[in-house]
Amino acid sequence: MHLSENALTVLKKRYFRKNETGECLEDWQALITRVANNIAGSNEDDFKKFYELLDSGDFLPNSPTLMNAGGDLQQLSACFVLPIDDSMDSIFETVKNAALIHKSGGGTGFSFSRLREANARVRSTNGVSSGPISFMKVFNSATDAVKQGGTRRGANMAILNVDHPQILDFITCKRDPNELTNFNISVGITERFMQAVADNTDYDLVSPHTGKVADRISAAMVFELIVEMAHKNGEPGIVFLDRINAMNPTPAIGAIESTNPCGEQPLLPNEACNLGSINLATMILDGDVDWERLTKVIRDSVDFLDKVIDCSRFPLESIEKMVKANRKIGLGIMGWADLLYQLKIPYNSEEAIELAERIMETIDFEAKKRSMELAMIHGSFPNFEKSIYATGELIREGKPWAELISDIRKNGIRNATHTTIAPTGTISMIADTSSGIEPQFSLVYVKNVMDTEKLLYVNKWFEAALEEWGLLNQDLLEEVSQSGSANHISDLPQELKDVFQTAHDISPQWHIRMQAAFQKYTDNAVSKTINFPNSASIADIREAYILAYKLGCKGVTVYRDGSRDNQVLSVGTGSPVKESFEKKVAPRQRPEITHGITQRLETGCGHMYVTINTDTHGACEVFVQMGKVGGCASAQLEAIARLSSLALRSSIRIEAIIRQLKGIRCQSPMWHKGKMITSCGDAVGQALENFLSLHANKELKSLHISMDGESISTDDVTRPMAATCPDCGSAIEHLEGCLKCPSCGWSKC
C-alpha cells in the first residue's frame, strides 16, 4: 500500500512503536508484521494472509488492534459497554472499570436509566439521591484524569431512557458545551413513545427504583425539546432501543441498554466488540465493483477479526467471559464516497442507494457464510443455542438467504454479530480514503504546516478528474478550498459538480436515506452524522428524526454547521488564502464615553470590584480592582481585565469569555451569596455572567464582525468554519458521530 504524507504523519504520531526518546522503532512493514504475526499465532498460512490483507490497504482493523497487538498491553477491542446499577457500590465499581478501559485505549458506553431520579429517597442513608446527571459528572471527571498513553483519549456514551423521570434534565445537560465534555449523549427511544408523539398524547415517566409512575408528560413536548437541543449543538442524539433489541442476537442473555461512544455498536452489559473496515475505494475493476475481490476480502477479514477475540487481553474478567460467550465482530466499510467518485455516481442518487444496499448485503451474506464455515471447524459461539440463529428468528429476504439461514441452524455460526459500520477516523487516513459511508467533507482543505505556511490538500479523485478535463490549476483549487465544495464554481461542468458532492452539498434527506440503505443489511448499527447547513430550522431537524425512524435507522446523530459555540465565523468573499489566513480580527475603537455597572464580590483574596462598561454595540471593557492587593496579583488582575476588554471589543461572545474564566481554582476559595468563588479569575467570570443576567445585551446576538477595521454584515458571512484542531490548528470535521482532524488524525472519540 502506498502511504500518503498524511498517513505517515498519523502512523508516526499514533501507531509506530517508539523508544524512550520518542524515536520511531517501526515502519509500515514492521507494524503490519507485528500485527499479522500476533493475530496469526503460529499459523504461517494465516500470517501470510493477514499480512497481505493489511498491506494491500483493502482492510484495516480498529486502532487498538494496530496499536496494541504484539505488545505488553494486548488490549485489542475498541468499544465496551459497562453496567450501572442503582447503588453506590455499582456506580463506583463502574467508574473504576471505565478508567481501566480508557487506560487501555477503549471507549465506554453506559445506560444511566437504572439510577433513581434526583431527590428520590435513599432508605439506607435516610437521605435523597443526587440523580443520574450528577453521577455522569463523576464519570466525566474520572475520564479527564485518565491518560491513554498519548494515543487515544477517553470517550463515553451516556444513554437515558425516554421514560426516566429526569429525562428533561438529561436532554438539556449539555446546554453548556463545557459540561460533560467526555460524553456523547443519546436518548433511548421506545416504540410506545414514538406512537405517543404521533398521537400527540402524554406518556408515563417511571421511577426506576420503585417501578411506579412518577409523572405523565407530553410526548410531543419531550420530542420537541430533543429536536431543539440537537438544533442548538448537535446533542442529544436518539437511539431506538426497541428496534435495537428486536435485532438482539441473544435476547435470552439480556437486553441491550447502551452503545459504544459513537453509537454504532449496541452491546450487552460487560460486552466488547472487535471492529474492522473494508476499503471500498480499492474494490474497482473495469469501471465496476470488483465483486470477486470484495468477497475474498470479506472472508479474510472475518478470519482476522475472529482470531482477534482469542488474542485480545481484556481489562476485566467479566468482559472476557461475555465477549467469548458471544464472539461478536463488526465488519464495516470505508471509502464509500471515493468509490462513488471513481464510478461517477452522485452520492445523492437512486443509483447510489441501490449500490449501497447491494454492497452491504454482499458483505453481510459472505461474512455470515464464512462465520458458519468457521463454526464447522472451531465450533459455534457458546450462546448459539440461545440465539436467533438457532431459533430461526434471523430474518433476511430472498432464496440465497433462506438457504444460508437453514445451513446456519444446522451447522452453527462462529459469531453472534458480523457487521457494523463504525467511524474509521484515523484508519481511513492511513488508507488515504473517505471515512465510513460519509460523503467527503471537503474536496480541498487547508493544512497548517507551520505558523505562516498553509498547504492545500486535494482529494485525489477530484484532482484526477480536473486533470482529465484540463481544468486543474491553483486558482481553481484555492476557490474550492474556500468552502470545500465545487458546487459554486461556475467554470466546472455540471457533470463534475453532480459527482463530486460534499457533505454540505447533500440534503439531510439523502444522508438519512444512505444511512438507512446500509442499515438494512447491518447487524449492529451505522455511525453517521446527518449534516445540516447553519440556516437549517428546528423543523428541518424534526423532519430528519422522523424520517430516520420511518426508514429503519437504529439511531440518529445530527449536526447543524456552526452550532457549537467553539466555532468561528468565516468570510464568504474572496480567496481563503488571501483573506481567511492573512486578515486578523482587530478590536473596535473605544468611544469617549461609556456606561456601565460595578459589582462587588468576595474572593479569598479580599473584596473585588468589577466594572463592566458598554458602548453602542454592547459590553466593551472590564476593569478590576481589589482592596490593597498589589504586586504580581494586581498585575494579573489587570491582565485579565485588559484581555477581556480586548476580546469584547473584537466581538467575541461574552459567554465564551465566561467559560474560559469560570471554574479556575486557587488555594483560597470563598463563598459569596450562596455561590463558591474559586479564584479571582472565576470572580471576573461570575461578574460577567451576572452582567448577562442584568442586561439583555443585544450585541451578543449580532453576527457583525470587524476585520482590519472593515465592518462585515451577515449578508457577507457564509457557513461557519469548523473548530480548530487542538493538536495542529487545522479545521475539524464533524462526521461519523464525532470530531476528526483531516490533517493530523486527532479525534475526539
Nearest to 478 by CA among 572, 583, 575, 579: 575
pLDDT in tens, 532-546: 998 999 999 999 999
Phi/psi class of residue 51: alpha, beta or left (left: φ > 0; alpha: ψ in -120 to 50)?
alpha
Question: What average pLDDT does the segment 519-527 reach?
Answer: 97
For the segment 43-59, the average pLDDT, to the nearest whole number, is: 98
CA distance readout (Å), 484 to 311, 462, 480, 722, 723:
42, 12, 5, 12, 15
Q: Which three cell numbers stand for residue 461?
A: 479523485
What does pLDDT average to over the chain?
A: 88
State how far the Cα of 149 lies from the Cα of 144, in Å rounded to an integer. 13
Say which range, 222-231, 368-377, 467-476, 604-613, has the weakest mean pLDDT: 604-613
- Residue-level pLDDT at 630: 66
Determine the average pLDDT of the residues in 692-703: 47
Angle between helices 654-661 and 680-694 (to 10 degrees): 150
**Per-residue b or e along 216-240, where b marks 16 or more CB atoms closer than 10 Å to that residue's CB:** ebebbebbebbbebbbbbbbbbbbb
Q: What is the mean pLDDT of residues 297-304?
A: 98
Residue with cell 478470519: 303
Q: In the 8-state DSSP scheme, what is residue 267?
A: E
Please tell me the least confidently modeled range out of 57-61, 223-227, 286-290, 395-399.
395-399
Average of per-residue pLDDT across 630-646: 84
The reported pLDDT for the residue numbered 546 is 97
- Name 353's bridge partners: none
* Residue 154 burial (10 A CB sphere; 0-12, 13-18, 19+): buried
What whole-number distance in Å separates Cα of residue 54 and Cα of residue 40?
13
- With bands split at pLDDT 50, 70 and 90, how would you rate the model's confidence at 702? very low
Distance CA 110, CA 258 (A): 6
388-394: average pLDDT: 93
pLDDT of 579 higher than 50: no
Contact 717, 724 (CB under 8 A): no
The answer to whether residues 617 and 699 touch, using CB atoms and an 8 Å cutoff, is yes
Amino acid present at 58: D
Tell me if residue 38 is catalytic: no
Cis peptide before 236 (omega within 30 of 0): yes
The yes-or-no verdict on residue 151 having pLDDT over 70 is no
Collect all residues with Cβ–Cβ distance below 8 Å to 421 and sequence separation of at least 6. Answer: 264, 332, 333, 436, 437, 518, 522, 525, 526, 527, 528
Q: What percent of the chain is modeled with pLDDT above 90?
A: 66
Contact (Cβ atoms closer than 8 angstroms) between residue 747 and residue 426:
yes
Tell me the C-alpha distance between 443 and 472, whole Å. 13
**In the 8-state DSSP scheme, what is residue 258?**
E
Residue-level pLDDT at 568: 30
Tell me, what amino acid is at 37? N
Residue found by looking up cell 421511577 in the block: 207
How does DSSP assign 197-232, residue by residue? HHHT-EEEEE-TTT-SEEEEEEHHHHHHHHHHHHHH
Q: Is 264 a catalytic residue?
A: yes
The reported pLDDT for the residue numbered 748 is: 72
Q: Which residue has the cell 406518556?
A: 203
Residue 335 has pLDDT above 90, yes or no: yes
Residue 567 confidence (pLDDT): 36
Task: Provide mean pLDDT across the span 712-719.
Answer: 32
The pLDDT of residue 167 is above 60: yes
Task: Report the candidate in 72, 114, 49 with the shortest Cα–Cα distance to residue 255.
Answer: 114
| Residue 153 reports pLDDT greater than 70 | no
Instruction: Specify the range with the lowest mean pLDDT, choosing from 16-20, 271-275, 430-434, 638-642.
Output: 638-642
Choice among 36-50, 71-85, 132-146, 712-726 with the minimum mean pLDDT: 712-726
Segment 495-509 shows an average pLDDT of 96
Q: Is the pLDDT of residue 722 over 50?
A: no
Q: Which residues pair with 621 in a beta bridge?
A: 613
Give the whole-number percent of the chain exceeding pLDDT 70: 89
Residue 580 pLDDT greater than 70, yes or no: no
Amino acid in position 674: G
Can you tell me the distance from the alpha carbon of 8 to that of 672, in angstroms, rounded to the nearest whole number? 54
The residue ranges of DSSP E strands in 404-522, in sequence order, are 444-450, 453-458
Confidence (pLDDT) at 356: 98
Radius of gyration of the chain (CA): 27
Give the separation between CA 229 and CA 238, rounded to whole angstroms: 12
How far is CA 668 from its chain centroid?
38
Rounded to an integer, the average pLDDT of 350-374 is 98
* pLDDT above 80 (res 451): no
Mean pLDDT on 537-559: 96
Tell me the pLDDT band of 712, cut-offs 50, 70 and 90. Answer: very low
Question: What's the whole-number mean pLDDT along residues 720-730?
Answer: 60
User: What's the pLDDT band for 573 if we cut at 50, 70, 90?
Assistant: very low
Q: What is the pLDDT of residue 696?
A: 42
Active-site residue (options: 79, 262, 553, 744)? 262
pLDDT exceeds cutoff 90 at 583: no
Catalytic residue flag (residue 260): yes
Is the pLDDT at 150 greater than 70, yes or no? no
Nearest to 576 by CA among 727, 740, 733, 721: 721
Q: What pLDDT score does 554 carry?
A: 97
Q: Report DSSP letters for 535-560, one per residue.
A: T--HHHHHHHHHHHHHTT-SEE-EEE
Hey, what's the cell of 506? Answer: 447533500
Binning the chain into helix, strand and coil, the percentages to the nearest 5 are 40, 20, 40
HEC string of 446-467?
EEEEECCEEEEEECHHHHHHHH
Predicted local confidence at residue 29, as pLDDT? 98
Q: Active site residue: 260, 274, 531, 613, which one?
A: 260
Q: Are 339 and 351 in contact (CB under 8 A)?
A: no
Confidence of residue 600 (pLDDT cuts 50, 70, 90): confident
- Read off the pLDDT band of 697 (50, 70, 90): very low
Tell me how many helices (H) and strands (E) the chain has.
25, 30
Identify the active-site residue in 264, 479, 621, 689: 264
> Residue 566: what pLDDT?
42
pLDDT at 634: 80
Residue-level pLDDT at 674: 67
Are 421 and 736 in contact, with CB atoms under 8 Å apart? no
